[in-house]
C-alpha cells in the first residue's frame, strides 16, 4: 500500500491554526486581486500546466436550454496522456495515496489527463458575501463548530486551519435548493455484473443557501436539509431518509421503512454508522465526502499541492448516457472520466484521544476554486489506505455555480466499489427547484417525509 507520506510533496505550505479568530488580522484586500474572490490563487503555476483563473466558464454553450441534456464544452479535446500501472510511479507526487493504489491494484484502471480548465465561477453577490465572511466569520472556542458566518458565501476564503477549510466544503453553494433523481450501483464481488440499480429521488435545501441569509440565527441553526426516497429495487422501494444537519448540536434524522409503515427518529445515524443499503461499504459521514459534526477529529491544514483530480465531469454526468456505458464492475468508465491538474488544499483529520471512529485518519483534498472535496483517503489503524472517494465538479450555468453528481468510493480491503448518483438514463437535475418555487421548506419536515413516501 502507498503511504500518505509518500504522496505529500515536500513543498507543501504548512499553515498554523487559530480557532475562534476572525479574519480581522488578514489582508482581506487580496480577495479579488492576487487571490480570486473565493480565496484561490488567481495566477497559474510556473509550468503553465495550471492556467490563471479568469472568472470561470459562466456562459452556457450556444443553444443550450435549462433542463435539456448538458453539453460538454470540452468534448473536442484530446487527452494529454494517461496514468496507468506502467507509469504510475512517475506521477505519484501528484496523486493521492488511494488513487495510486487503485491504479496499481485494479486491472485496466487508468486516469486520462486532460488540459486544465478553471471553470468554476459564481455570482457577484456570492463573492461579496465571501469577502464579508473573510473579515467576520469565526469558529467557536471549541475549534470545530462555526460560531458566526454569513450564508451564501465562502465562510473562510483565507482559512487558517483544517476545520475552517472543511467548513468551506460543508457550506459550498449549489443554488438555493435542488431536486435530483439518480441511481447507485454496488457491483457484486467477483462478478462482471454491475448489480441492480438502487434508484433514489432526492431533494436538498438549506436556509443558509438563500442570497438574503443573515447568518446562523436567521437559518434557525440549520446547516442543511435532505430528503431521500428509494424508488427501486422493489425490496426497498418506499424507504426514505429525512435529515437536518444542525450547527453546534446533533443532527436530526428520521427513517421510514415502507415494510413497517412508521417514521422513526434515528439519533445514532451519523458518524461511522453504516449507510443504509450500501452493504457496509459506506459510513454515514462519507456522504457528500464529509458531513456532520467535526468533533471527533483534530483537523490540520497541511497546505496546498497540485493533484490530478476529476474535473469538468460533463461526460460521466450526462443523462444521455446508457448506464452500461458509464458503470463498470470496479469503476466509472475510463472513457467517460476526465482528470485535470488542479491546486487543492490538503487537510488531515486525526482521531482525537478518547474518541472512536471506523477511520482513525483521513486526508481530504479540497479544490481551491470551488471548495469541494474532490478526493478523500481513509486509513486503517495500521496507516494503510482503506477507502478512496472521488467526485468531480462541473458548471451548472443556470445557477451559476459548480455542482457535482457522480461519485465513487473504492474499498481497498474488499476490492469493491460504490458508484453513486449516476445520472445516466435519468433527467438533468433541477438545480433551480427552490429558486423557482418547485421546492418548499415544508418538504423537510416529518409530515413531508410521510407525504413523499405515500404519494
Domains, the chain, in order of start with CATH, read: 4-56+76-454 (2.50.20.10)
36-65, pLDDT tens digit by residue? 999 999 999 999 999 999 999 999 999 999
5: pLDDT strictly greater than 50: no
- How far apart CA 437 and CA 385 sit, in angstroms, is 44
Give SS3 for 5.
Answer: helix
382: pLDDT strictly greater than 60: yes
Counting residues of the chain whose pLDDT is more than 90, the rounded percentage is: 89
For the ranges 7-11, 138-142, 178-182, 423-427, which has the lowest average pLDDT?
A: 7-11
Where is pLDDT greater, at 410 or 5?
Answer: 410
What pLDDT shows up at residue 446?
Answer: 81
Q: Is the Cα dihedral 365, 424, 313, 9 positive or negative?
A: positive
1: pLDDT strictly greater than 70: no
Q: Is the Cα dihedral 145, 151, 154, 159 positive or negative?
A: negative
Mean pLDDT of the chain: 93
Residues 6+ apart with CB under 8 A from 314: 70, 71, 72, 73, 74, 75, 394
DSSP string, 377-439: EEE-TTS-EEEEEEE--EEETTTTEEE---EEEEETTTTEEEEEEE-TTS---BTTTTTTTSS
For the segment 155-160, the average pLDDT, to the nearest whole number, is 98
What pLDDT shows up at residue 250?
Answer: 84
What pLDDT shows up at residue 24?
Answer: 52
Q: Is the Cα dihedral 409, 413, 415, 416 positive or negative?
A: negative
387-428, pLDDT tens digit by residue? 999 999 999 999 999 999 999 999 999 999 999 999 999 999
Q: Which of 122, 127, 95, 123 is nearest to 111 (CA)?
A: 95
Parallel, antiparallel or unpaired: strands 222-232 and 198-205: antiparallel
Q: Which helix (H) or strand (E) holds 105?
A: helix 97-105
pTM for this model (two decimals): 0.94
- How far apart CA 210 and CA 301 sit, in angstroms, is 29
What pLDDT shows up at residue 22?
Answer: 54
Residues 6+ apart with CB under 8 A from 47: none
What pLDDT shows up at residue 453?
Answer: 67
442-453, pLDDT tens digit by residue? 999 887 776 776
Residue 189 CB burial class (10 angstroms; 0-12, 13-18, ≥19): exposed
Q: Do residues 194 and 209 make contact, with C-beta atoms less than 8 angstroms apart? A: no
- C-alpha separations of 401 from 70, 142, 325, 371, 396 in Å: 14, 32, 27, 12, 6
9: pLDDT strictly greater than 50: no
84: pLDDT strictly greater than 60: yes
For the segment 357-367, the average pLDDT, to the nearest whole number, is 98
For the segment 10-26, the average pLDDT, to the nearest whole number, is 47
23: pLDDT strictly greater than 60: no
What pLDDT shows up at residue 14?
Answer: 38
What pLDDT shows up at residue 16?
Answer: 39
- Quote the cell numbers at residue 411: 474499498
- Quote the cell numbers at residue 193: 455484473
- How far apart CA 307 and CA 150 sit, in angstroms, is 30
Task: Name the DSSP letter for residue 450.
Answer: H
For the segment 117-140, the average pLDDT, to the nearest whole number, is 98
Residue 128 CB burial class (10 angstroms; 0-12, 13-18, ≥19): middle
12: pLDDT strictly greater than 80: no
- How far apart CA 410 and CA 348 sit, in angstroms, is 19
Q: Do residues 328 and 421 make contact, with C-beta atoms less than 8 angstroms apart? A: no
At residue 25 the predicted structure's pLDDT band, cuts being 50, 70 and 90, is: low
At residue 264 the predicted structure's pLDDT band, cuts being 50, 70 and 90, is: very high
- What residues form DSSP beta bridges with 303? 346
276-319, pLDDT tens digit by residue? 999 999 999 999 999 999 999 999 999 999 999 999 999 999 99
Residues 6+ apart with CB under 8 A from 332: 316, 326, 406, 408, 419
What's the count of helices (H) and strands (E) in the chain, helices before strands? Answer: 6, 19
Give SS3 for 35.
Answer: strand
- How far apart CA 258 and CA 108 sit, in angstroms, is 40
What pLDDT shows up at residue 48?
Answer: 98
86-99, pLDDT tens digit by residue? 999 999 999 999 99
What pLDDT shows up at residue 455?
Answer: 56
Q: What is the dihedral angle through the alpha carbons of 38, 41, 43, 44, rounded to the nearest 10 degrees? A: -110
Amino acid at each position: 500500500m502507498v503511504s500518505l507520506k509518500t504522496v505529500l510533496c515536500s513543498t507543501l505550505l504548512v499553515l498554523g491554526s487559530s480557532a475562534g479568530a476572525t479574519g480581522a488580522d488578514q489582508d482581506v484586500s487580496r480577495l479579488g486581486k492576487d487571490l480570486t474572490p473565493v480565496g484561490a490563487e488567481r495566477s497559474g503555476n510556473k509550468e503553465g500546466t495550471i492556467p490563471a483563473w479568469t472568472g470561470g466558464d459562466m456562459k452556457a454553450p450556444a443553444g443550450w436550454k435549462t433542463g435539456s441534456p448538458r453539453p460538454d464544452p470540452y468534448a473536442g479535446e484530446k487527452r494529454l496522456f494517461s496514468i496507468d500501472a506502467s507509469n504510475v510511479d512517475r506521477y505519484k507526487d501528484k496523486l493521492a495515496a488511494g488513487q495510486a493504489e487503485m491504479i496499481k491494484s485494479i486491472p485496466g484502471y487508468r486516469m486520462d489527463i486532460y488540459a486544465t480548465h478553471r471553470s468554476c465561477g459564481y455570482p457577484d453577490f456570492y463573492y461579496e458575501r465571501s469577502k464579508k465572511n473573510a473579515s467576520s466569520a469565526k469558529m467557536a472556542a471549541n475549534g470545530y463548530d462555526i460560531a458566526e458566518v454569513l450564508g451564501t458565501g465562502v465562510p473562510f476564503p483565507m482559512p487558517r486551519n483544517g476545520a475552517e477549510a472543511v467548513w468551506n466544503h460543508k457550506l459550498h453553494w449549489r443554488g438555493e435548493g435542488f431536486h435530483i433523481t439518480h441511481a447507485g450501483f454496488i457491483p457484486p464481488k467477483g462478478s462482471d455484473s454491475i448489480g441492480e440499480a438502487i434508484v433514489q429521488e432526492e431533494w436538498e435545501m438549506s436556509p443558509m443557501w438563500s442570497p438574503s441569509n443573515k447568518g446562523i440565527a436567521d437559518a434557525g441553526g440549520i446547516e442543511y436539509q435532505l430528503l431521500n426516497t428509494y424508488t427501486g429495487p422493489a425490496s426497498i422501494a418506499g424507504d426514505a431518509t429525512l435529515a437536518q444537519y444542525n450547527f453546534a448540536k446533533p443532527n436530526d434524522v428520521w427513517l421510514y421503512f415502507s415494510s413497517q409503515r412508521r417514521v422513526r427518529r434515528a439519533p445514532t445515524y451519523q458518524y461511522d454508522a453504516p449507510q443504509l443499503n450500501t452493504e457496509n461499504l459506506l459510513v454515514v459521514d462519507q456522504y457528500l465526502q464529509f458531513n456532520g459534526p467535526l468533533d471527533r477529529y483534530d483537523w490540520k491544514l497541511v497546505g496546498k499541492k497540485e493533484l490530478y483530480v476529476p474535473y469538468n465531469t460533463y461526460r460521466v454526468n450526462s443523462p444521455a448516457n446508457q448506464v452500461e456505458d458509464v458503470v463498470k464492475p470496479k469503476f466509472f468508465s475510463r472513457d467517460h472520466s476526465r482528470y485535470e491538474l488542479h491546486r487543492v488544499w490538503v487537510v488531515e483529520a486525526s482521531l482525537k484521544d478518547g474518541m472512536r471512529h471506523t477511520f482513525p485518519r483521513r486526508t481530504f483534498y479540497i479544490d481551491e476554486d470551488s471548495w469541494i472535496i474532490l478526493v478523500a483517503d481513509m486509513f486503517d489503524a495500521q496507516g494503510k489506505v482503506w477507502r478512496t472517494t472521488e467526485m468531480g465538479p462541473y458548471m451548472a450555468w443556470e445557477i451559476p455555480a459548480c455542482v457535482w453528481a457522480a461519485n465513487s468510493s473504492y474499498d481497498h480491503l474488499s476490492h469493491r466499489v460504490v458508484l453513486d448518483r449516476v445520472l445516466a438514463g435519468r433527467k438533468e437535475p433541477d438545480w433551480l427547484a427552490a429558486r423557482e418555487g418547485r421546492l418548499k421548506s415544508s418538504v423537510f419536515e416529518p409530515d413531508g417525509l410521510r407525504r413523499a413516501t405515500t404519494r
